Chain A
């Protein structure tokens, strides 16, 4: 299934120009608050009308300004999970789930009630009133309700933003499982780099109403220029890695990647040996030495070759270092750069403190 998006709309002084396409995977619309992410998904759902453009899922045109096609939201087969769940307060959980199911559009391959309830683990909540649910439970019911309306595509608009970190960790596995189980394209709106790292296959980087870049998570988030332009947090390196060993005495874990092995604090949650996940190392946490350092507390030291030097604003520069097949970014001062006379091709050691790496969550 392929979704084609080409949307234009002016909202006050703000212009949205969004063009991208995605398929049966989790696509993150990633950008800081106010970048226009929610407006884009609202246009996909038909809740706000674009000025012109096109939205096509496979051979179904949802919107086409040139042919004056504009399906109303109820005929779009687009599931929408809102940040605030929006469960109907006058209905029980079961009635809420039923609401979409009784109005399902089209047939074939639509998820079964029991299966959805089972995957989302909400069977014990069916009789409850919606106000008696916790934030995490509300979101799971909202996801189930959207799925049961038999959508061709699922939009999730910051579904975890109003939850605390424990509840977030509780929902994330469900999102990934839904995509696998029901084979839907999922568009996941987020301003949290952690959520993107744990969930997304593709990133659509949204900034100032436009699409700044589209591509696999590793490619997009490894470009400090993009991160700077879009103001989406610290520049850094996303490294696909595999858990190879845990050290219970010190509560540490060893992850292998194409350039060697990382020692990091053991991840929270149940990560099994052999499981893959993404580690993210912030560029400012990577320092550079010319000789192999001795007797230091830094646990992760990798020999590599400087690939490029990118001048940023002010006194900082971003240096990319080739370690094996992985490019690791380091942010140092221009002064250090000049004192160590670092330039492309030079052999250096990249050093990363183990505690500087966020406790990685499992990649589902």
Chain B
């Protein structure tokens, strides 16, 4: 049953990816602005334009270009970036770890903050504390991530400059990375200066990304907790003498967390989408920052590569959420 579901989801994922590839390919070509016009020098002639157009393969028809590109993709060749002049797959894979580390750190912060607020809210339900937390969550939710970013830059970058404003690591640190996962590799190789510097650079953008999600988690999880805490089995725990906090953490949290899991999965994809603006603000060298440059420069092969990777990420996350939900939920697990 589980294997059949997995197979079905994987096959639909492939169809989705193909659809994304077609849409992106066509969209970036019909959108205004072409890369050749952007690189024309002052004295360029019609012949120069034709030469550059042919050099980058834009002289062929749209279907021809698509077939060539798709053929390359199927063989692992995503083309060469027009502006960065390197293979697209290498460029995208070199930036992906930065975005993944940032997103995962933001997710952990969101889960920790949102979870803590939900538990406190449920523990203090019906009191002024719950009302205060609800109002706080609503306020946090109403402010977009990039504004949080600007606020953090002002607070922790300028007024109380304890955190780094831009980049991913202190440029003075000498370290040859085997992978691009700075935090993971730093920990594994015992280079805590690398870990510290990377975390110092990631904290503000991760917080900016995490706060809206944390507020959402807090609201949904608290509501679920309150409903579960009305059920008989939690009353039984109370009768057995467990404290209210213990009842929440030991009995209620697991059941209340299941519906939240779906929300977190969906919102995590939005969080990854949010990295585009936040990475730009903090000059963080991730995939989102690269995407903006690619769009500004109309670097069509790079845009296509980045969008495909984002699509794969979104599909993988949704798949993971569905499967984990199936595994965690006994009713679904047993068919």
Whether chain B is bound by chain A comes out as no
B residues neighboring A (CB under 8 Å):
none
